A = this chain, B = another copy of it.
Amino acid sequence: MIQTPYLLFLGDAPDQLAAKVAQGIKDWRPEFAVGQFRMEGCKADMGLTDMTLEQAKAAGAKTLVIGVANRGGVISPAWKKVLVAALEEGFDLASGLHNLLKDEADLVAVAQACGRELHDVRVPEVDYPIANGVKRTGKRVLAVGTDCSVGKMYTALCLEKEMRARGMNADFRATGQTGILITGDGVPLDAVIADFMAGSIEYITPDNDADHWDIIEGQGSLFHVSYSGVTMALIHGGQPDALIVCHEPTRAHMRGLPGYSLPSLEAVRDMALSLAKVANPGAQVVGYAINTQHMSEDDALAYVAKVEADLGLPATDPFRFGAGKLVDALAAI
C-alpha spacing A223/B281, complex, angstroms = 13
Measured between beta carbons, the chain B residues less than 8 angstroms from A120 are none
A131 touches B226 (CB 8 A): yes
CB distance from A121 to the nearest CB of B (A): 15
Q: A237-264 interface mask toward B, CB cutoff 8 Å, 1 = contact, 0 = none?
A: 1010000000000000010110110010
Chain B residue contacts of A133, Cβ below 8 A: 225-226, 254, 257, 259-260
A128 to chain B, nearest CB (A): 11
Report copies per complex: 2
The interface residues of chain B lying within 8 Å CB-to-CB of A275 are 222, 228, 271
Within A99-143, the residues touching B (CB, 8 Å) are: 130-135
Q: Which residues of B contact A229 (CB under 8 A)?
A: 194, 197-198, 229-233, 236
Nearest residue in B to A199 (C-beta to C-beta)? B226
A191 interfacial contact with B, CB 8 Å: yes
Residues of B within 8 A of A226 (CB): 130-133, 195, 198-199, 236
Shortest CB-to-CB span from A66 to chain B, Å, is 21
Judged by a CB distance under 8 angstroms, whether A274 is at the interface is: yes
A89 to chain B, nearest CB (A): 34
Q: Is the CB of A197 within 8 A of B198?
A: no
The interface size of chain A toward B, counting residues with CB under 8 Å, comes to 42
- Nearest residue in B to A234 (C-beta to C-beta)? B229
> Considering only CB atoms, which chain B residue lies closest to A227 in the complex?
B195
Within the complex, the shortest CB–CB distance from A250 to chain B, in Å, comes to 21
| Chain B residues positioned under 8 Å from A134 (CB to CB) | 259
Within 8 Å by CB of A191, from B135, B194, B235, lies B194
> Is B228's CB under 8 angstroms from A198's CB?
yes
In angstroms, how far is the closest chain B Cβ from the Cβ of A291? 21
Q: Give the most central of A130, A132, A225: most B CB within 10 Å.
A: A225
Q: How many Å lie between the Cα of A233 and that of B227 in the bound state? A: 8
Instruction: Please name all residues of chain B whose beta carbon is closer than 8 Å to the beta carbon of A199 when the two chains form the complex.
Output: 226
Alpha-carbon separation in the docked complex, A233 to B230 (Å): 8
Tell me, yes or no, whether A193 is within 8 Å of chain B by CB: yes
A286 within 8 A of B: no
Residue of B nearest to A270 (CB): B274
Residues of chain B within 8 A (CB-CB) of A271 are: 274-275
Chain B residue contacts of A135, Cβ below 8 A? 259
Within 8 A of B (CB), among A166-222: 189-195, 197-199, 222
Q: A193-B193, A222-B232 are in contact. List 16 more A-B contacts (CB 8 A).
A: A130-B226, A131-B225, A131-B226, A134-B259, A135-B259, A190-B193, A191-B195, A194-B197, A194-B229, A198-B225, A222-B275, A222-B278, A228-B233, A229-B236, A231-B232, A260-B278
A residues lining the B interface (CB < 8 Å): 130-135, 189-195, 197-199, 222-223, 225-233, 235-237, 239, 254, 256-257, 259-260, 263, 271, 274-275, 278-279
A–B pairs, 14, beta carbons within 8 Å: A133-B226, A133-B254, A133-B257, A189-B194, A192-B194, A194-B229, A195-B227, A195-B230, A222-B232, A228-B236, A229-B229, A229-B230, A229-B231, A229-B233
